[in-house]
A = this chain, B = another copy of it.
Amino acid sequence: MKSQFPFPTVIRLTYYLRALEFLLTQNKSETSSDELAKLTNLSPEQVRKDLAYFGSFGKRGKGYPLPKLYEKIKELIGINKEWRLCLIGLGNLGKAIVRFKGFPERKLRFYAIFENDPKKIGGEFQGIRIFDVNKLPEVARELSLDIAVFTIPDDQVDKVYELVRKTNIRGILNFTSAPLHSEKDLFVKNVSIAQELEIITFYLSK
Contact = CB atoms under 8 A, between A and B. Distances in A.
A195 B10 CA distance: 10
B189 A200 contact: yes
Given A92-B95, A96-B92, A195-B14, A77 B201 contact: yes
Contacts of A13: 198, 202
Contacts of A79: 198, 201
A78 B205 contact: yes
A18 B14 CA distance: 29
Nearest to A180: B41
Contact of A199 (B103, B189, B195): B189
B204 A171 contact: yes
A69 to B, nearest CB: 16
Contacts of A172: 200
A97 B192 CA distance: 11
Nearest to A13: B202
A143 interface: no
A52 interface: no
Interface residues of A, number: 52
Nearest to A105: B194
Given A147-B200, A198-B77, A205-B78, A193 B102 contact: yes
Interface string A1-24: 000000000110111011000000
Nearest to A93: B96
25 contacts: A10-B202, A14-B199, A18-B177, A41-B179, A41-B181, A76-B202, A76-B205, A77-B198, A77-B202, A78-B201, A78-B204, A83-B201, A91-B96, A92-B95, A93-B97, A100-B194, A106-B194, A106-B197, A147-B201, A171-B201, A172-B200, A173-B193, A173-B197, A189-B197, A191-B193
